[in-house]
Structure 1
Amino acid sequence: MRFHKLHGLGNDFVVVDALDDPDLARRAEEAAPALCHRALGIGSDGVLIAVQSERADFEMIMVNPDGTRGMCGNGLRCFARFLSHVGRTAADRITVDTIGGVTTAYLFPTEDPASGEVEVDMGPPTLERARIPMRVTADQDAGESVIDQPLRVGDETFAMTCVSMGNPHCVIFVPDPCAMDLARIGPLVEHHEEFPERTNVHLVQVVADDELFLRVWERGAGLTLACGTGACAATVAGAVSGRSGRKATVHMPGGDLRIHWLPEGNVMMRGPAVTAFVGEIELDRLPRL
């Protein structure tokens, strides 16, 4: 199987063109845990598979290292850049069908066709408890927003603001994300009973009205250097909680994204997508994980 390895701010992906081969799409998805394994496979935070779509220019199947399907903003930028690089599109605007709905990606001119800036219209955020989704008890309103509500994790209580960007995010504002043990806190929140489909977890520091710092624990992947949908969710959470504005540069260990929650409701995300290398791998040689 031929593949391209791309990353967006160090959030890296194995990308596969299965537009003309549905069986390859199936095999690549089944092999995703091994492909993502950094010792036994290629190594990545996810596998992106390009397939045909009936409602958009392309469909992106995103598979996490644990084999579950997901949604990823950094992956969307890489996916769009990949399609342009391999000649599947010459357009500067494409629509992509994802598990979270149809999105639009804008490719900016670049001297290197394998790398460059991409802006993605991530659509509107979802703030309603039931649609994130979160647990709804008898005394809770399914349509309520979850803003600065307490979340008990072991002996600690955090104020959480929850947002869906096509996937669930639990945003926790703290004075210093680097002073906290996200490797310990992340899985406890990800698997908390409040989140029936688990959740991404973010520790966020407000640097200025238009500047945030974010550390990421991704659902199904663990600690990663960056998260596009997480940066969008953090910006929305900052705005709805009154901590920051609707437009922000979001710093992450892997680099920066520019996020704008438009007055009309959609969230725009802009940042780089870089091709690291191209290769081939024999799927039959990979272990079953």
Structure 2
Amino acid sequence: MSLRFSKMHGIGNDFVVLDGRRLPPALSETQIRAIADRRCGVGFDQLLSVEPARDPSCAVYYGIWNADGSPSGQCGNGVRCVAAWLHRAGALGIGETVRLESPSGPVAVRLLAADRVAVDMGEPDFAPAASGFDGHSQALELGPDTVEIGVVSMGNPHAVVSVSDLAQPSLATWGPALTTHPRFAHGVNTGFVQRLAHDHLRLRVHERGSGWTLACGTGACAAMAVLHQRGQVGDRVQVELPGGTLQIDWGGAGHALWMTGPAAFVFEGEWL
């Protein structure tokens, strides 16, 4: 059987999107890894499936799988692409706000333009258990180095490390080491953030299951949330990633965090 798909990206974080509204796909981990192969397959950071909603208050459900075939709970750049995909399919109009159901629960999306989406990512959860973290000291040993992290869940787990220079060579080893650190029960997405101003951050993310990516929407949310909690940034921040820039708005505890950014179509294809 052939499998029709859309190739999309959100500031370089790229996706294969499947239409499962009539028949949700049943792909094995091996099949997902084959499609993710950038030489012999299509290539993606995450695979997204648009399916009937389980929650009647939501328009659709979207499943998320990493390039290694493992499932993911949330994907900030991915949900923007799902919203743009629904618009092109005639299921979401410009200016509309709808709820979409993720593996981590409902999220609200507002379509600002055909290629620009704002997403209510919910309130950041700083409880260690929400990220599968053992809850002890947030100073982690990485060989001869000790690294201070901030831990937060945005529907998926994040470790945020403040650095003065994103080009420092140690990050090449710190990223994979933190992502698979045994103190996180299910692995973690690791973000290295450089504070440029009270409203401007620069970020690199090593994602569990995908490695270094050009962008990570939940990673941008996590970085802003950790620095906001420390009083180092204001309520609106531009987060600059290798693939582009996201706007993150958060008023602090008791408020939902909103992420705004683009979504782009690349091509349509058929997996044979």
Scaled by the length of structure 1, the TM-score of the pair is: 0.88
Q: 2:163, 2:177 → 1: CA distance?
A: 17
Q: 1:77, 1:29 → 2: CA distance?
A: 24
Question: Residue in 2 aligned with 1:15?
Answer: 17
5+ residue gaps, structure 1: 111-115, 141-145, 283-289
Question: Residue in 1 aligned with 2:213?
Answer: 224
**Equivalent residues of 2:29, 2:70 under 8 A apart:** no
Question: Residue in 2 aligned with 1:206?
Answer: 195
The structure 2 residue matched to 1:241, chosen from 230, 234, 238, is 230
The structure 2 residue matched to 1:76, chosen from 71, 76, 79, is 79
For residues 86-137 of structure 1, what are the alpha-carbon distances to aligned partners after superposition, in whole Å with 9 as ceiling and x for unaligned? 2233462221111221101111134xxxxx110000001100111222114x
Q: 2:270, 2:68 → 1: CA distance?
A: 22
- RMSD (CA atoms): 1.6
Q: Secondary structure at the match of 2:113?
A: coil
Q: Secondary structure at the match of 1:206?
A: strand
Q: Secondary structure at the match of 1:179?
A: coil
Superposed, 1:274-285 pairs within 5 Å as 274-282=264-272
Q: Secondary structure at the match of 1:172?
A: strand
With 230-239 and 123-132 compared, the bigger mean Cα shift is at 123-132
With 167-176 and 239-248 compared, the bigger mean Cα shift is at 239-248
Superposed, 1:99-114 pairs within 5 Å as 99-110=103-114
For residues 117-161 of structure 1, what are the alpha-carbon distances to aligned partners after superposition, in whole Å with 9 as ceiling and x for unaligned? 10000001100111222114xxx5xxxxx7xx3111111011111
With 153-162 and 26-35 compared, the bigger mean Cα shift is at 26-35
Runs of 4+ in 1 over 4 A off after TM superposition: none
Question: Residue in 2 aligned with 1:97?
Answer: 101
1:82–1:6 Cα change, 3 Å:
same
Question: Residue in 2 aligned with 1:130?
Answer: 129
With 11-20 and 93-102 compared, the bigger mean Cα shift is at 93-102
Q: Secondary structure at the match of 2:27?
A: helix
Shift of 1:41: 0.7
Q: 2:205, 2:155 → 1: CA distance?
A: 17
Q: Secondary structure at the match of 2:164?
A: coil
**Equivalent residues of 1:259, 1:268 under 8 A apart:** yes
Shift of 1:20: 0.2
Q: 1:181, 1:2 → 2: CA distance?
A: 41
Code of the aligned partner of 2:35: L
Q: 1:163, 1:234 → 2: CA distance?
A: 9
Q: 2:43, 2:170 → 1: CA distance?
A: 24
Code of the aligned partner of 1:17: D
Scaled by the length of structure 2, the TM-score of the pair is: 0.93
Shift of 1:182: 3.1
The structure 1 residue matched to 2:183, chosen from 194, 210, 218, is 194
Q: 2:48, 2:224 → 1: CA distance?
A: 25
Code of the aligned partner of 1:154: G
Q: 2:112, 2:235 → 1: CA distance?
A: 23
Question: Residue in 1 aligned with 2:33?
Answer: 33
Q: 2:89, 2:172 → 1: CA distance?
A: 37
Identity fraction in percent: 38
Shift of 1:11: 0.4
Shift of 1:54: 2.5
- The reply to whether residue 265 of structure 1 matches residue 251 of structure 2 is no
Q: 1:28, 1:13 → 2: CA distance?
A: 17
- The reply to whether residue 166 of structure 1 matches residue 170 of structure 2 is no
Shift of 1:274: 0.4
